Amino acid sequence: MPLDVVILAAGQGKRMHSALPKVLHPLAGRPLLAHVIDAARSLAPRRIHVVYGHGGGQVKKAFIDADLNWVEQTEQLGTGHALKQALPALDPAGSVLVLNGDVPLVRRETLAKLAEAGRAGLAIVTCDLVDPTGYGRVLRDARGSVERIVEQKDASPQQLAIREWYAGALCGGAARLAAWLGKLTNRNAQGEYYLTDVIGFAAQDGIEIATVKATDPWEVAGVNSKRELASLEREVQRRVAERLLERGVTLADPARIDVRGELDCARDVTIDVNCVFEGRVSLGERVRIGANCVLRNVSIAADTEIHPFSLLDDAQIGARCRVGPYARLRPGAQLAEDVHIGNFVEVKASRIGAGSKANHLSYVGDAEVGARVNIGAGTITCNYDGSAKHRTVIEDECFIGSDATLVAPLRIAKGSYIGAGSTISKDTPAGQLTVARARQVSVPGWKPRGKKD
């Protein structure tokens, strides 16, 4: 039987107090909705349909490359109304799995059980909580069969004492769901068309309602506020830290690491406190990351050390390098092996050869730096003329004196020495010292204007 997945993602999320649609708020560096879509894709369904409404343009733009069927809910009249908008796109002979776009940690195993149970009639996911305040309660008859769901605002005091709650995911035949959706009314405390009423209709029709119990409350936890989002973020990061520790990564403090993408670590990697990893980051054997570093889409080879407070963005770093502290590698930075990039050095769109060093207070942009080059403190490659970028080439074994200004386009030939304080705007000959600075002059008897003897 073909399976369609419908993700309900039209809500405004008023309690988030944000102009950003709720399902686009990030969890572990990705939108909430992205996590739900990944879970749905793991089942290889016929099609994934996303019902959008509030901030629809932003939501669609965030997933412009995804193979999704977008269904607009022009008026947010409740979850039942939202699913009804998707009915024309569903296979009437198939089954439908309904998920919420703000429940990001649902597991494939749970969804697979739900999809299988739903083929026979109707199945829902439930969970037991000590305090299920805010959630719809599962009402069962004397035999233990599910009768219906009652929402928090419509529940009696006795019903509010029930600990089993409906976790917002269900699966059933498309044709049956369509018939039950046609019976919905909005005669309730919120004036909305509840999808949960479908469960009561199914029970009235004699359909046995299967339940898939989620034993991990985090798996079915929704996000309705920044507080809940922050709690979920901490749980996700705790799980990431546990996986890293199990793989042999040394974490100075498992509670102080944030992975907002994919972090791949080889053996004997050490990560100090307060480090953030975004996008795809790969760390080779024995790599050490100092405290308070941010790495985004970075590849680092074995035995390299990143010293504290460094920012690395879209960079490739070779083996046995030393970077930082307070270094910045911008997009396009490529370091060969044994390169030293020191404190307050910025590298952008540049390749730096093996054994080269820029240890202090320098900017290297749009440059080709050869092997065994020494770049002195305060050196600047002047790569931008106001309208275009130009490249600087520094060949092997050059020595660039402190406070040198290299005006691109420029080639510093192999073995060149550049005198400290020089402004170099013409190509240099190989193996020679080049000095370009004004003659030092002292004026005898000079006094500051207005100063008396």
The residues with which 207 forms a beta bridge, in sequence order, are: none
- Candidates 17, 49, 360, 390; catalytic one: 360
* Cβ neighbours of residue 14 closer than 8 Å, sequence gap 6 or more: none
3-state secondary structure of 406: strand
* Cβ neighbours of residue 44 closer than 8 Å, sequence gap 6 or more: none
In angstroms, the CA 406 to CA 375 distance is: 11
Closest CA to 82 of 196, 1, 187, 172: 196
- Asked if residue 242 lies in contact with residue 257, where contact means CB atoms within 8 angstroms, the answer is no
How many contiguous H segments (helices) and E segments (strands) does the chain have? 8, 37
In angstroms, the CA 379 to CA 296 distance is: 26
Residue 360 catalytic?
yes
Question: 226-256 burial, b if ≥16 CB within 10 A, otherwise e?
Answer: eeebeebbebbbeebbeebeeeebebeebeb
Output the DSSP codes for 251-289.
Answer: ES-TTSEEEEEEEEE-TT-EE-TTEEEEEEEEE-TT-EE
In angstroms, the CA 325 to CA 322 distance is: 9
In angstroms, the CA 146 to CA 156 distance is: 17
- Asked if residue 289 lies in contact with residue 270, where contact means CB atoms within 8 angstroms, the answer is yes
- Asked if residue 382 lies in contact with residue 405, where contact means CB atoms within 8 angstroms, the answer is yes
* Cβ neighbours of residue 365 closer than 8 Å, sequence gap 6 or more: 346, 347, 348, 349, 350, 381, 383, 384, 389
In angstroms, the CA 208 to CA 122 distance is: 7
What one-letter code names the amino acid at 156? S
* Cβ neighbours of residue 22 closer than 8 Å, sequence gap 6 or more: 11, 12, 13, 16, 32, 54, 101, 102, 223, 224
- Asked if residue 404 lies in contact with residue 379, where contact means CB atoms within 8 angstroms, the answer is yes
| C-alpha of 309 from chain center | 21
So which residues are the catalytic ones?
360
